[in-house]
Amino acid sequence: MAEFTMELSDEQKEVRDWLHGFAADVIRPAAAEWDEREETPWPVIQEAAKVGIYSLDFYAQQYFDPTGLGIPMAMEELFWGDAGIALSIVGTGLAAVGVLANGTEEQIGTWIPQMYGDANDVKVAAFCSSEPDAGSDVAAMRTRAVYDEAKDEWVLNGTKTWATNGGIAGVHVVVAVVDAELGSKGHASFIIPPATPGLSQGQKFKKHGIRASHTAEVILDNVRVPGSCLLGGKEKLDARLARAREKVRKGGERVKNAAMATFEASRPAVGAMAVGTARAAYEVALEYAQTREQFGRPIIDNQGVAFQLADMRTSIDAARLLVWRASWMAINGKPFTAAEGSMSKLFASETAKKVTAQAIQILGGNGYTREYPVERMHRDSAIYTIFEGTSEIQRLVIARTLAGMPIR
């Protein structure tokens, strides 16, 4: 087990500086254009693939960093560049992690390379879980997967929503209900190969922020996939369902808590994204306050502005420390006895919204225009308090954990 530290190793610093350079030289110059176009920034993704950032190998190296800091460090730097473009770069990782976590070696070797493509022909993948009536309430999921034993095929029907890369992806990973009586434990994940009949893109959402990231509905209409597309295989699924039924019979709350622990472990990465956006806005505001003069002196000399910057920096550093703590705990198997994963996501998300708003205030009228990036950063920051569990859900998880109550 790695000791908790706030000091990055030389190797980690080298990776951080490499990512920062890519964010500064490639992502930032393209940010305003792709935000206006509201399209997937394929040229930027291709550049990321050429240098090795858009690849499974890179994210695997960061994910298995024994300090737990690889992923939050990478997320912070990329999202410092631009949230919309960064989400387009890292979005495929959601689907890849789904396969890595649940798939067989053969499935991992077959499908993950297809998710990324190569530097000359980049692909994206989509992870499809949320539904119109099942966001925070995952037990309300309606998409069904029914096994056709005669053909050894699964038939999927339903609608997914808020899917990053939904419809434009080659490979889709879809979570569906196979046993409705088991709630979230009755779910399974399926690979939908490229060009599978019955899968189509529904509504593409025109969003307030992160506009360079494609978000859409995915429609599944009698989608048939081979039995080999069930992640983990049917034998493993049948055994898991049998254990879940036994646990439900003895006490269903333990099943729900185990599921919640999985969500807890993924939330610090979103917190790191929020830290990156907040830090970017703070740096713009700091530079502006140091160079903008009013009444013959820089506006940072005014206590009202200086105190705002002090609060912004303090909140950003506090958010990063919460993210790092939760990330270290997760990689080292430390239990989140106080919902530390939700704590990090909650505080970092709220910090990003507050700091970006303060940055606009410091820039005044300039901050309200698209000539300066803080306007875009403020729009982008709104998503952090919504996806991967709203701030209200984070507070509920924390409160019920502290009270020793089951998390529903």
How big is the CA angle at 64 (ends 62 and 67), to the nearest 5 degrees? 85
| 8-state DSSP, 230 | B
| Per-residue burial over 80-111, b = 16 or more CB atoms within 10 Å of its CB, e = otherwise | bbbbbbbbbbbbbbbbbbbbbebbeeebbebb
- Contact residues for 79 (Cβ-Cβ < 8 A; gap 6+): 86, 87, 272, 273, 274, 275, 276, 277, 280
DSSP 3-state of 5: coil
| 8-state DSSP, 302 | S
How many Å is the maximal CA-CA distance in the chain? 82
Residues marked active site are found at 388
Q: What is the DSSP string of 125-174?
A: EEEE--BTTBSS-GGG---EEEEETTTTEEEEEEEEEEEETTTT-SEEEE
How many other C-beta atoms are found inside a 10 Å radius of the C-beta of residue 197?
A: 9
The residue type found at 335 is P
Question: Are 54 and 96 contacting, i.e. CB atoms less than 8 angstroms apart?
Answer: no
Structural tokens at position 321: 């420390």
Closest by CA to 326, choosing from 262, 268, 365, is 268
How many other C-beta atoms are found inside a 10 Å radius of the C-beta of residue 221?
A: 12
* Distances 228 to 16, 40, 123, 135, 154 between C-alpha atoms, Å: 39, 31, 22, 28, 9
